[in-house]
């Protein structure tokens, strides 16, 4: 009898306690959920504040009553603040991204500023906020701010590839720089890129190898539109330009044996190649880039153009570099070429391909607003009329 009473006492106590604790437990869980939602909303606010300060349009990121969606918004803001968006003008993407997709779930907005270590980016952020403050409410500054935002996004986009060193060709600036991951300029130089009707395309790619004494395999459109009329008028043009006419089997054909009168833009069963040497249009060094657009970096046989003219947009699309020897040595990691290499004009040279230790990233971009080596802000000429 006593044992039964004891059992009933404890069973009753358990049932009474359980009924009273369940509502309390549900309330605790609800409060935890509300606190978590407030915390996420606060983090989104912090992330958007930082994103806005570095030129990101945060109007796309809005909070809702759905906590799960707010967590997605937080992740999206964090990822854009670190990795940017793919620039809209990118014609070819040949580099593999190394984005840490799990990072945003572990990081907090307070860590974003510490990740922005690239010096030109930090300098550009400073200019952006200075101009925004000075021009608050003034629509005259809107275009300048828009152009700076585009460049800031580009620099964030570079983070997707985490390169130790990389080549950056900025078309409007007429410049090439080799940067390290901190933004130090290891090798600045001038470049000549495509003219407005033969625009150099923007791309992410890499140097595959370097060719000494390259041939110039003349693009078909240049051969037909520019060279064929001259060759038909005067065969001496072929010899003066060191051109070779190749048939479909890649055999060289004697120009004297060709019936030039029968040839036209729609009937030209040949390929034109310029022999290697100091008079070759590609100069003595060619940097092959991985891309389907036949774009590469190269030396030039008209090196005086870098000093005699400010028109740095006059090629058919490829990029002529001012310091090919220095660039080759940096990419190869050894002093393969000395200063005298460019002045030696060795005859009867055949192209020789030099493998490089590893793929060397190359970014060809169109940044109208950017900073120079001293951190000064520049707005370069919109040579391709793309900023309108």
- Strand 319-321 and strand 185-194: the pairing is antiparallel
The rounded distance, in Å, linking the Cα atoms of 225 and 244 is 17
**Per-residue pLDDT for 151 more than 50?**
yes
**Same domain, yes or no: 284 and 348:** yes
**Same domain, yes or no: 370 and 300:** yes
In the block, which residue shows the tokens 């974003």?
112
- pLDDT-derived band at 67, boundaries 50, 70, 90: confident
199 dihedral zone (left: phi>0; alpha: psi -120 to 50; beta): beta
The rounded distance, in Å, linking the Cα atoms of 225 and 61 is 51
**Per-residue pLDDT for 379 more than 50?**
yes
Does residue 29 lie within any of the structural domains? yes
Does residue 266 lie within any of the structural domains? yes
DSSP states of 74-124: HHHHHHHHHH----TTEEEE-S-----TTHHHH--GGGHHHH---HHHHHH
Does residue 233 lie within any of the structural domains? yes
- The residue out of 83, 112, 130 marking a domain boundary is 83
Active site residues: 298, 318
Does residue 125 lie within any of the structural domains? no
Does residue 258 lie within any of the structural domains? yes
247: helix, strand or coil? coil
What pLDDT was estimated at residue 140? 83
**Same domain, yes or no: 259 and 330:** no
**Same domain, yes or no: 340 and 371:** yes
Does residue 17 lie within any of the structural domains? yes
**Same domain, yes or no: 200 and 294:** yes
- The CA angle 79-84-86, to the nearest 5 degrees, is 125
Radius of gyration of the chain (CA): 31
Which has the closest alpha carbon to 214: 277, 272, 301, 270? 277
Task: Give 27-64 pLDDT, tens digit per residue.
Answer: 766 666 677 788 999 999 999 999 999 999 999 999 98
What pLDDT was estimated at residue 254? 96
Q: Measured between alpha carbons, how far is residue 291 from residues 53, 64, 97, 296 in Å?
A: 35, 43, 16, 9
- The residue out of 20, 54, 83 marking a domain boundary is 83
- pLDDT-derived band at 135, boundaries 50, 70, 90: confident
**Same domain, yes or no: 221 and 209:** no
| % of the chain beyond a pLDDT of 90 | 80
Task: Give 284-307 pLDDT, tens digit per residue.
Answer: 999 999 999 999 999 999 999 999
- The residue out of 83, 113, 135 marking a domain boundary is 83
**Same domain, yes or no: 204 and 286:** yes
Exposed / middle / buried, residue 92 (Cβ in 10 Å: 0-12, 13-18, 19+):
middle
| Host domain of residue 226 | 217-274
Task: Give 185-232 pLDDT, tens digit per residue.
Answer: 999 999 999 999 999 999 999 999 999 999 999 999 999 999 999 999
CATH assignment at residue 312: 2.40.440.10
Does residue 333 lie within any of the structural domains? yes
Q: Are 205 and 233 in contact, with CB atoms under 8 Å apart?
A: no
**Same domain, yes or no: 245 and 266:** yes
**Same domain, yes or no: 205 and 300:** yes
**Same domain, yes or no: 306 and 362:** yes
Task: Give 330-348 pLDDT, tens digit per residue.
Answer: 999 999 999 888 888 777 7
What pLDDT was estimated at residue 325? 96
What pLDDT was estimated at residue 18? 54
**Same domain, yes or no: 307 and 349:** yes
Q: Are 380 and 144 in contact, with CB atoms under 8 Å apart?
A: no
Distance of CA 239 to the CA centre of its chain: 40
Task: Give 254-283 pLDDT, tens digit per residue.
Answer: 999 999 999 999 999 999 999 998 889 999
Q: How many domains does the chain have?
A: 3
């Amino acid at each position: 009898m006593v044992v039964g009473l004891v059992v009933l006492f404890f069973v009753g106590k358990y049932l009474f306690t359980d009924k009273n604790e369940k509502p309390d437990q549900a309330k605790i869980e609800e409060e935890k959920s509300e606190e978590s939602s407030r915390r996420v909303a606060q983090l989104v606010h912090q992330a958007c504040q930082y994103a806005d300060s570095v030129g990101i349009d945060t109007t796309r990121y809005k909070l809702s009553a759905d906590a799960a969606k707010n967590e997605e918004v937080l992740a999206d803001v964090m990822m854009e603040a670190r990795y940017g968006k793919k620039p809209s003008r990118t014609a070819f993407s040949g580099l593999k991204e190394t984005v840490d997709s799990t990072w945003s779930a572990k990081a907090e907005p307070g860590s974003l500023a510490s990740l922005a270590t690239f010096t030109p980016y930090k300098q550009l952020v400073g200019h952006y906020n200075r101009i925004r403050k000075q021009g608050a409410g003034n629509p005259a500054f809107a275009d300048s701010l828009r152009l700076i935002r585009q460049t800031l996004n580009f620099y964030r986009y570079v983070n997707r590839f985490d390169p130790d060193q990389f080549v950056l060709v900025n078309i409007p600036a007429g410049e090439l720089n080799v940067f390290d991951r901190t933004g130090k300029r290891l090798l600045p130089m001038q470049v000549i890129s495509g003219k407005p009707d033969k625009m150099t395309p923007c791309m992410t790619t890499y140097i595959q190898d370097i060719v000494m004494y390259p041939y110039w395999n003349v693009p078909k459109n240049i051969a037909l539109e520019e060279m064929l009329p001259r060759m038909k008028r005067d065969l001496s043009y072929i010899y003066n330009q060191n051109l070779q006419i190749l048939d479909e089997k890649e055999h060289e054909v004697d120009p004297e044996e060709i019936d030039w009168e029968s040839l036209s833009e729609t009937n030209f069963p040949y390929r034109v190649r310029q022999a290697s040497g100091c008079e070759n249009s590609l100069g003595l060094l060619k940097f092959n880039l991985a891309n389907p657009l036949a774009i590469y970096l190269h030396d030039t046989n008209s090196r005086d153009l870098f000093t005699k003219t400010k028109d740095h947009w006059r090629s058919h699309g490829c990029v002529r570099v001012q310091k090919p020897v220095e660039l080759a040595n940096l990419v190869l990691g050894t002093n393969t070429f000395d200063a005298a290499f460019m002045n030696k004009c060795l005859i009867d040279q055949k192209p020789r391909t030099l493998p490089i230790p590893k793929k060397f990233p190359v970014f060809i971009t169109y940044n109208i607003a950017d900073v120079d080596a001293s951190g000064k802000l520049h707005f370069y000429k919109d040579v391709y009329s793309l900023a309108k």
